[in-house]
A = this chain, B = another copy of it.
Amino acid sequence: MKTEQETEQTAGRPSGLCGGLRERKKRRTRDALVRAALELFVAKGYERTTVDEIADAVDVSQRTFFRYFSNKEEVAFALQELIETRFLTEVRARPAGEPPMPALRRAVTKAWLTIDEEMKAVAPPQLHMRMYQIIESTPALLAVHLRRQQETEERIAQEIARREGLDIDADPRPRVLVAAFAGAMRVAGKVWGEGDDWTSDAMRKLSDRYLAALEPALAQNWRTPSGN
């Protein structure tokens, strides 16, 4: 028999309060693995860190590591997982009458209001931020990152189609809107990671700026200066 291990994503609750000893222990090992991995990745780089080193740092076997994470990449995406989940939740919470684009923009703004707090549960924010830079600069991780984002895109597009009562395969607008939106967000995220202000407030401002640039960018005439 299999125990479901997706149960513990209850946000905002400190680890170790719920469930029996067995589950608490599992959560602790998992968090410890993430933390050790992030520290090692930041210290030595992703490729120069071996799974054995991560496992040794937490004093478990390599085999156990692979029981918690299906591969070495996955352990690097703790923060991303959080962001994606949070954003999706906020989109689902938008009022039904709201048009698609404003709904997405407000969802992203609201999501970033709470992400700060949540990520502290596993590792210090500084660590997450450095990890984000490593993801952007390590080809293998960047590739996985983009794939994960695309999976989120699809879920969001489905939610938008549902809200608007559209057949997602017949009307191109849900997927195209979300693709454009995600593209602008990706550019914003990249600039954020390369800059020096790693507050969530800075991220919100960048999102706004790049999303606002979407319509002017599609316009024919670029002669009017804008954007900065």
| A residues lining the B interface (CB < 8 Å) | 99-102, 139, 142-144, 146-147, 150, 164, 166, 170-177, 179-180, 182-184, 186-187, 209-210, 213-218, 220-222, 226-228
Contacts and interface: CB of A to CB of B under 8 A. Distances in A.
A-B pairs with lowest CB-CB distance, top 4:
A179-B183, A143-B143, A177-B217, A180-B180
B173 A217 contact: yes
A211 to B, nearest CB: 9
B164 A217 contact: no
How many copies of this chain does the complex contain? 2
Nearest to A183: B179
Contacts of A143: 143-144, 146-147
Contacts of A179: 180, 183-184, 186-187
A173 B142 contact: no
A211 B219 CA distance: 13
Nearest to A210: B172
A127 to B, nearest CB: 24
Contacts of A228: 170-172
Given A143-B147, A144-B143, A164 B215 contact: no
Nearest to A184: B176
A186 B180 CA distance: 11
Contacts of A172: 187, 209-210, 213, 217, 227-228
Contacts of A164: 222
A166 B228 CA distance: 12
A213 B176 contact: yes
B210 A176 contact: yes
A153 B25 CA distance: 45
A225 to B, nearest CB: 8
A216 B187 CA distance: 22
A94 to B, nearest CB: 14
A173 B99 contact: no
Contact of A150 (B101, B146, B227): B146
